[in-house]
Structure 1
């Protein structure tokens, strides 16, 4: 008996994966706690090399002391460092947070800009952070957020051959409908945490196994024409 299964094209596969992820994780929302765009920007900067859970433990005290861009811009940076110390790389994060808020105050009237090009000028802000802020603070899907989970799963699912986040994002933007760019990332992150872990992915429990070129179940052999 021939157990070989032919997998759909990349485009077909990405849309089917999206449908299944929506069913698996219907309430996928940003897991960072914030009240304003500035607070989301700060929380996202803090989330680099740190869990969202840890960030959410730090930000209540930080935002109670410094709730907006002007207060962060004029803060004693050592106080910011103390408040964010447990997120790791705290000196660099504190410096970038203050410098970004100073630019927001001096160049953007105290409000977080809503254009990718302007956001990327802020210290400590690359496309990952900018995509999160635009999508969740302003409802603007300007790109696909690519973190380590999205990178790993996009490669395993055969949707990109690249290791560079920018190239991965470009591939995903071509494959996915723009309204789903950000919720794709969140759902893929959920799936990466729960099932498709970096070590020992639980292929036997994965609902994407039949369309995944990297599935390790011995009875499934897959081919791709994507």
Structure 2
């Protein structure tokens, strides 16, 4: 260790004593003069030097340097401006790779602006999208339900949810005939029970690769059908229901689906929620409110039911007793997306909710 230290000291002292050629010549009063001129005075750009001289040091400026100094009477192309940094693009280094993460929709920023708005201001600003409550057959359990709904509409318009792009209504093949599209919408609804939209959407993609018609479903062995459905919740039971339903449709409905609630509910694995949503999406008929776990949960949190309910079907009956019929088609899609993004099952984001001061279940308290 001592030897290494001595070597370093000697090298440092040697470098300190060395003098450059220019300093030696200056000390002797000597100056290096060029023996010949190799360029003309009008040659002003280093890029124009002959041969490889342009890669060596030269007192001649580059065009870019002259452009910066803004010399007069010089017509040079402007330097391309560097792209502006986007605050919504960030780079994450992982080992030797760099992943660029982009936020397409600045949802959080918009929500931060919105949650600062006081309820009184919201009520004034949202006059145009307030629902009309005329014609109610029964009074609403919560008189502020109209304001709840208007706020949820606004939040849903700002913050997209999985149901918007991956919901059952998006699972059908748009290039297929109408009969096949109706069947695929029914199948997606059957698979969606207690399953995330992302999982249902991917399972439908695998089924559509095999055709996804009543006839094609019947041709797939049960074991293979189960593999196609996995990891959908209860995929084995749903594979069995799909087989039975496909056979019924082939035998009784000419490979189409029933056009009424009564017949839809007779199909294996089809419940009231699926039947009402299927009638709306497949046949464009509003026969009832589709109440799933999100609609059931949020309706109870907002006191949209006269008394707490334990089952979605109980919630549906109560909602239909007072909610205007004109809103039945909208309320499922609206509340499902709201439940996926803000009013989540566990630890709801009350601080981000526009209803945080008027929701009976809110954990956010006004100061």
Residues 114/12 of structure 1: CA separation in 2 closer, same or farther (3 Å cut): farther
TM-score by length of 2: 0.54
Q: Name the TM-score, length of structure 1 as normaliser.
A: 0.85
**1:112 aligned to 253, 257, 264, which one?**
257
Equivalent residue of 2:244, what SS? helix
Match of 2:329 among 182, 201, 207: 182
Shift of 1:73: 3.0
CA distance in 2, matches of 1:13, 1:163: 23
* Deviation (angstroms), 1:66: 3.2
- The separation in 2 between residues aligned to 1:58 and 1:95, in whole angstroms, is 15
CA displacement 1:167-212 (0-9 Å, x = unmatched) = 1001111232223223211111111121112222222211122331
Task: Describe the superposition over 1:81-106 as per-residue Cα deviations: whole angstroms up to 9, x where unpaired.
Answer: 11112213211110001111111111
1:13 to 119, 136, 144: 144
- Runs of 4+ aligned structure 1 residues displaced above 6 Å come to none
Residues paired across the two proteins, number: 213
**1:71 corresponds to 2:216:** yes
Q: Provide the residue aligned with 1:54 in structure 2.
A: 199
Q: Specify every segment of 5 or more residues in structure 1 that has no aligned partner in the other structure, as ranges.
A: 1-7, 221-226
The reply to whether residue 210 of structure 1 matches residue 360 of structure 2 is: no
Q: Which residue of 1 aligns with 2:287?
A: 142
What is the rounded CA distance, in whole Å, between the counterparts of 1:182 and 1:11 in structure 2?
Answer: 20
1:22 pairs with 141, 153, 175, which one? 153
> How much is the aligned-residue C-alpha RMSD, in angstroms?
2.1
1:193 and 2:329 correspond = no
The 2-side partners of 1:59 and 1:9 are apart by 39
Pick the structure with greater CA Rg. Answer: 2
Superimposed CA distance per residue, residues 104-159 of structure 1 (whole angstroms, 9 cap, x where no aligned partner): 11111211111000000000000111122111112112111111111111100001
Equivalent residue number for residue 301 of structure 2: 156
User: Which of the pair has the greater relative contact order for Cα pairs under 8 Å at 6+ separation?
Assistant: 1
Q: Which has the larger helix fraction?
A: 1
